[in-house]
């Protein structure tokens, strides 16, 4: 009886740790209801966080924590933007946990200590918990105005969310140079929320208007960060302040691009 030759063992493929990835810009259309658009935006933010969290836990790459923080901040901005249709209990519970994880990720420390903290916070389970809280209809307000918004085109909620975020940023006042450092920091936070909402909702308007406006907003944020960075090279802070002042004045005095154009898609 012939012996069956042992089959050759094939080496298992090496699974490399995933690389950090930049935020996913969800593709919204005007034909989507507010409820549908909310799910698309939230799932994109949660998927980005889950991916970048795997990077943090398996790869020593400084971009991992940064990209994971960005995903959490975008999620919180989405909760702001869709606030008129969200039940406070559902939104607040997700926001509170997201802020705690973001605080853990922003601290500068050894990778092993960061990972131990994230394990203690059960960061790996955050995406599943947030999905449960923000799926189905449990996250939706029940009052008549909210129900009407939920079933209407997302374009209306988008424009109102952008109006609110812009007004919050403009409330910080006139010239950037005259703002105390703490107020400039608060302005940067509010501009970041506005940028996130612009990125979410830009597909609802012609790119010829939304993309240049978004690029100017990003430049304004960079200029403010450079000006307030104590490690900035000599002279860079002054140049950044001049750039920020110009862009901030144009934003204050110009009309919001989403109100001058008809939504598309």
pLDDT value at position 228? Answer: 83
Give Cα 24 to chain centroid, integer Å.
Answer: 9
For residue 10, name the pLDDT band (cuts at 50, 70, 90): low
Segment 192-220 mean pLDDT: 95
Residue 265 pLDDT more than 80?
Answer: no
Cα angle for residues 57, 60, 61 (degrees, 5° grid): 105
Q: Coil, helix or strand for 110?
A: coil
Q: Which residues pair with 64 in a beta bridge?
A: none
Which of 101-105, 181-185, 257-261 is predicted with the least confidence, judged by mean pLDDT? 257-261
Q: Which tokens hold the place of 209? A: 């208007």
Segment 146-160 mean pLDDT: 97
Place of tokens 């959490």: 72
| CA–CA gap between residue 198 and residue 190 (Å, rounded) | 12
**Residue scoring higher pLDDT (96 or 5):** 96
Cα angle for residues 164, 141, 44 (degrees, 5° grid): 65
Residue 262 pLDDT more than 70?
Answer: no
Dihedral, 238, 240, 245, 250 alpha carbons, nearest 10: 160
Q: Coil, helix or strand for 153?
A: strand
pLDDT value at position 227? Answer: 86
pLDDT value at position 2? Answer: 52
Which of 9-23, 68-82, 160-174 is predicted with the least confidence, judged by mean pLDDT? 9-23
Segment 20-25 mean pLDDT: 91
Q: What is the rounded average pLDDT for all residues in the chain?
A: 91
- Per the CB < 8 A criterion, the answer to whether 119 and 101 are in contact is no
**Residue scoring higher pLDDT (218 or 110):** 218
Other beta carbons within 10 angstroms of residue 198's beta carbon come to: 23
Residue 264 pLDDT more than 60?
Answer: no
Q: So where are the chain's domains?
A: 34-133, 154-257
Segment 237-257 mean pLDDT: 91
Q: Coil, helix or strand for 109?
A: coil
Residue 232 pLDDT more than 70?
Answer: no
Long-range contact pairs involving 163-166 (C-beta distance under 8 Å, separation at least 24): 163/256, 163/259, 165/80, 165/81, 165/190, 165/193, 165/194, 165/197, 166/194, 166/256
Residue 7 pLDDT more than 90?
Answer: no
Q: Which residues pair with 86 in a beta bridge?
A: 140
| CA–CA gap between residue 265 and residue 25 (Å, rounded) | 16
For residue 124, name the pLDDT band (cuts at 50, 70, 90): very high
pTM for this predicted structure: 0.89
Radius of gyration (C-alpha) of the chain in whole angstroms: 22
| CA–CA gap between residue 224 and residue 244 (Å, rounded) | 6
For residue 204, name the pLDDT band (cuts at 50, 70, 90): very high
Q: Which tokens hold the place of 56? A: 């943090």
Q: What is the pLDDT of residues 44-76, one digit of tens each?
A: 999 999 999 999 999 999 899 999 999 999 999
């Amino acid at each position: 009886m012939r012996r069956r030759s042992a089959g050759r063992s094939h080496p298992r493929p090496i699974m490399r740790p995933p690389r950090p990835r930049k935020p996913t810009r969800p593709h919204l259309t005007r034909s989507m209801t507010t409820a549908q658009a909310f799910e698309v935006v939230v799932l994109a933010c949660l998927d980005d966080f889950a991916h970048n969290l795997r990077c943090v836990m398996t790869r020593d790459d400084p971009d991992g924590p940064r990209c994971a923080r960005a995903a959490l901040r975008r999620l919180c901005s989405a909760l702001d933007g869709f606030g008129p249709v969200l039940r406070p209990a559902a939104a607040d519970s997700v926001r509170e946990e997201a802020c705690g994880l973001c605080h853990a990720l922003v601290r500068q420390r050894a990778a092993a200590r960061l990972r131990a903290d994230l394990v203690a916070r059960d960061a790996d389970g955050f995406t599943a918990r947030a999905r449960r809280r923000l799926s189905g209809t449990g996250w939706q307000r029940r009052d008549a105005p909210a129900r009407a918004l939920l079933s209407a085109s997302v374009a209306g909620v988008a424009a109102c969310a952008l109006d609110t975020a812009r007004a919050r940023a403009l409330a910080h006042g006139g010239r950037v140079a005259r703002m105390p450092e703490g107020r400039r920091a608060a302005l940067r936070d509010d501009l970041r929320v506005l940028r996130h909402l612009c990125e979410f909702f830009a597909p609802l308007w012609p790119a010829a208007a939304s993309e240049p406006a978004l690029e100017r907003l990003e430049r304004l944020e960079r200029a403010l960060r450079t000006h307030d960075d104590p490690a900035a090279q000599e002279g860079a802070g002054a140049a950044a302040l001049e750039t920020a002042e110009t862009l901030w004045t144009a934003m204050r005095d110009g009309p919001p691009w989403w109100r001058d154009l008809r939504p598309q898609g």
